[in-house]
Amino acid sequence: MKRLLASLALLASACTTAASLPDPVQTPSATAPRFDDAIAAFEAADKQAQPPKCATLFVGASSIRFWKSLKEDFPKRTVINRGFGGSTVWEVDHYFDRVVKPYHPKEIVFYAGENDLWVDKRTPDQIYADFVQFMRLKDKALGATPVWFISAKPSKQRFEQLPLQTALNTKVKALADQRDDLAYIDVVAPMLKPDGSPKDIFVADNLHMTPEGYAIWTPIVEAALGAGQSAKAPGC
């Protein structure tokens, strides 16, 4: 991201920049949304204890869902974890009004995309279009609220899809280079050994990370959020 929003003038510039970007064609998934129960569980929990507005919202797939140490890893931030199942980008879009919008976060950390490639067999172009739709939904509901996109991660189980992940990551990074409300966080290189293979930071399924994996992610994400600390949602 070139710069994060720091003034009303830059907010206006961001809107102009976003409007000038190419508009990718979105292709509907052949799969029905799968996580109604998980989203209903979030809503039930919110009724018991409503999370505060203007928190840092982490949303996306199981790499977010299993980030059990999120509060401890970001002690200076109020964080909300809304990772659900093995979700895809288009499913985050589908549930946006229930899993993002109600929290009015000051910033959003987003992780999804690899399930789209592996499970749904969607192409990088299709996934990119789904993420652009996420940004549209965010713009409409939350204005200039900044989004941090964590790159699709290399894992032992899915290492063969690294070229497709790279294609997706490259597209999102290019979008972040053009938008002041989007930043790209690269976790790929830090997760690889010198020989280019994934580090030994995965549980038995060779997909989900151990605490050592999240220990790699934490300072990278914190540094990105810290660099953009002047950016926040309107009203926060």
Mean pLDDT of 149-155: 97
Q: Has residue 24 been placed in a domain?
A: no
For the cut 80, the answer to whether the pLDDT of residue 163 exceeds it is yes
Position 6 confidence tier, pLDDT thresholds 50, 70, 90: very low
Total domain count for the chain?
A: 1
Per the domain annotation, does 179 fall within a domain? yes
**Residue 50 forms part of a structural domain:** yes
- The confidence score (pLDDT) of residue 22 equals 64
If one compares 16 and 185, the residue with the highest pLDDT of the two is 185
- 32 falls within a domain: no
Q: How confident is the model at residue 18, as a pLDDT?
A: 41
The band of 2, judged by pLDDT with boundaries at 50, 70 and 90, is: very low
Q: What is the mean pLDDT of residues 160-164?
A: 96
Q: Residue written as tokens 């020989």?
A: 195
> How far is residue 88 CA from its own chain's centroid?
10
pLDDT for 21 equals: 53
Residue 203 lies in a domain: yes
Check: CB of residue 186 under 8 Å from CB of residue 135.
Answer: no
> Is residue 6 assigned to a domain?
no
Q: What pLDDT is attached to residue 234?
A: 86
Report the candidate in 110, 178, 113, 119 with the shortest Cα–Cα distance to residue 138. Answer: 110
* Whether the predicted pLDDT of 14 surpasses 70: no
pLDDT of 217: 98
Q: Report the relative pairing of strands 107-111 and 147-150 from DSSP bridges.
A: parallel
User: What CATH number corresponds to the domain at position 187?
Assistant: 3.40.50.1110
Its domain, for residue 193, covers 45-227
Residue 92 placed within a domain: yes
